[in-house]
Amino acid sequence: MNIFFVLLKKEIKELLTAQLVITIAVTLLVFHVIGKAVGSHNKSSAARNGVVVLDLDRSDLSARLIKAIAGTRTKPSAAPQRDIAAAMAAPEYAAENSFMVIPAGLQAAVRAGKTSNIDYYSRFRRQASGLGPAIAASQIRRTQQAAARETVAYLMELRLPGLDPDFLRAPAPPREFAVINGLTAEVSLSQVIGFIQSQSYFFPIAVFFIVILSAQMIMTAVASEKENKTLETLLSSPLDRRLLVMSKLAAATLIAAALSGAYMLGMRSFMAGVTGLGADPSVAVAAAGPALAALGVMISGPGYLLVGLSVMFCILCALSIAFILGILSEDVKSIQTMMTPLMMPLMLAYLLPIFIDMSTAHFGLKLLLYAIPFTHAFMAPQNVMMGNVAQVWWGILYQAAVFAVCVNISTRLFSGDALLTLRLRLPWTK
Q: Which amino acid is at 417?
A: D
The most confident of the ranges 78-82, 180-184, 258-262 is 78-82
Give the CA distances from residue 267 to residues 45, 202, 203, 282, 422, in Å, rounded to whole numbers and listed in that order: 31, 9, 7, 18, 41
Predicted confidence at residue 427, as pLDDT, reads 47
Predicted confidence at residue 401, as pLDDT, reads 94
Which residue has better confidence, 102 or 334?
102
Predicted confidence at residue 307, as pLDDT, reads 86
Q: Confidence band (pLDDT; 50, 70, 90) for 34?
A: low
Q: How far is residue 181's CA from residue 123's CA, in Å, rounded to a whole number?
A: 9
Predicted confidence at residue 46, as pLDDT, reads 54
Question: Does pLDDT of 430 surpass 70?
Answer: no
Give residue-wise pLDDT tens across range 98-147: 899 999 888 888 888 888 889 999 888 766 666 666 667 777 888 888 88
Residue-level length of the chain: 430
Predicted confidence at residue 397, as pLDDT, reads 95
**Burial (0-12, 13-18, 19+ Cβ within 10 Å), 77:** middle
The most confident of the ranges 251-255, 321-325, 392-396 is 392-396
pTM: 0.72
Region label for 100, one of left (φ > 0), alpha (ψ between -120 and 50) or beta (otherwise) = beta
Domains by residue range for the chain, with CATH: 15-41+197-420 (no CATH), 49-186 (3.40.1710.10)
Predicted confidence at residue 400, as pLDDT, reads 93
How far does CA 425 lie from the centroid of its chain?
A: 35
- Average pLDDT rounded to a whole number, residues 272-289: 47
Q: How crowded is residue 272: how many other Cβ atoms within 10 Å of its Cβ?
A: 15
Question: Does pLDDT of 178 surpass 70?
Answer: yes
Which residue has better confidence, 15 or 188?
188
Contact 181, 296 (CB under 8 A): yes
Contact 315, 257 (CB under 8 A): no
